[in-house]
């Protein structure tokens, strides 16, 4: 799969097979996050890989899933992620304006996961104090987000957006994700010129 194919194929996954991801693949994912662009090359992003069966339920309990279709969109028992990567910002290095660094790093991770056949869900709705205690994080680390990972047990599809951005599940349980059309967001030389 080339990069363009990966970019167009990547979808958020919220139902996972209960098959462990090899540790070396999880480390590989963090490595591509590490190599992402970083403003002024400050590199404030750090990561915690969570793969321990004793920690997974606790991390799961700190996350909010699929707001438009909750609770039906939440992973059900036997569909939970089998690993997580907590995305952290070291505020001793950078305390604000780190969102671009995070976005670039996470996108690298999501695409590398797809190449490995791993589904992912980037989650920003996190009970951060609870997660901080669970992972024993020191105070100089900001919890930005969590990436849920596992081999996919669903295949979401993209739909051309009509009148709503809200994703939905059909009668067969397939997730449909509306996206704005290219003609709606792409302008030539000046805004409003197609």
Which domains, from first to last, does the chain contain? 3-154 (3.40.109.10), 156-194 (2.20.180.10)
Cα 103 to Cα 101: distance, rounded to the nearest angstrom: 6
Distance CA 80, CA 137 (A): 23
Tens digit of pLDDT per residue, the chain (194 long)? 888 988 889 999 999 999 999 999 999 999 999 999 999 999 999 999 999 999 999 999 999 997 787 777 789 999 999 999 999 999 999 999 999 999 999 999 999 999 999 999 999 999 999 999 999 999 999 999 999 999 999 988 888 878 888 887 888 888 788 888 888 889 988 898 87
- The count of C-alpha atoms lying within 13 angstroms of the C-alpha of 74, restricted to the half-sphere facing its C-beta, is 11
pLDDT at residue 181, as a whole number: 85
Residues in contact with 172: Cβ distance below 8 Å, sequence separation at least 6, in sequence order: none
Phi and psi of 110, rounded to 5°? -60, -40
What's the pLDDT at 149? 98
**Distance, CA of 169 to CA of 72 (rounded, Å):** 9
Instruction: Give the contacts of 8 (CB within 8 A, at least 6 positions apart).
Output: none
- Which SS3 state, helix, strand or coil, does residue 48 take? strand
Q: Which of 32, 119, 111, 116 is nearest to 84 (CA)?
A: 119
130 Cβ contact partners less than 8 Å away, ≥ 6 residues apart: 61, 62
Q: What is the pTM of this model?
A: 0.92
- Check residue 68 and give its pLDDT: 81
């Amino acid at each position: 799969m080339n990069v363009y194919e990966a970019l167009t194929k990547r979808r958020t996954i919220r139902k996972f097979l209960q098959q462990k991801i090899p540790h070396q693949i999880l480390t590989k994912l963090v490595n591509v996050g590490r190599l992402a662009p970083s403003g002024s090359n400050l590199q404030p992003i750090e990561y915690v890989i969570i793969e321990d069966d004793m920690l997974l339920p606790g991390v799961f309990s700190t996350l909010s899933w699929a707001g438009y279709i909750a609770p039906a969109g939440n992973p059900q028992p036997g569909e939970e992620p089998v690993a997580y990567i907590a995305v952290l910002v070291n505020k001793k290095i950078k305390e604000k304006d780190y969102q671009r660094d995070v976005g670039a790093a996470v996108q690298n991770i999501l695409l590398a996961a797809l190449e490995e056949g791993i589904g992912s869900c980037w989650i920003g709705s996190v009970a951060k104090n609870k997660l901080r205690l669970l992972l024993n994080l020191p105070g100089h680390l900001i919890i930005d987000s969590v990436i849920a990972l596992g081999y996919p047990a669903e295949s979401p599809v993209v739909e051309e957006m009509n009148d709503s951005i809200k994703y939905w599940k059909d009668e067969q349980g397939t997730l449909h994700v509306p996206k704005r059309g290219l003609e709606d967001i792409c302008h030539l030389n000046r805004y409003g010129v197609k």
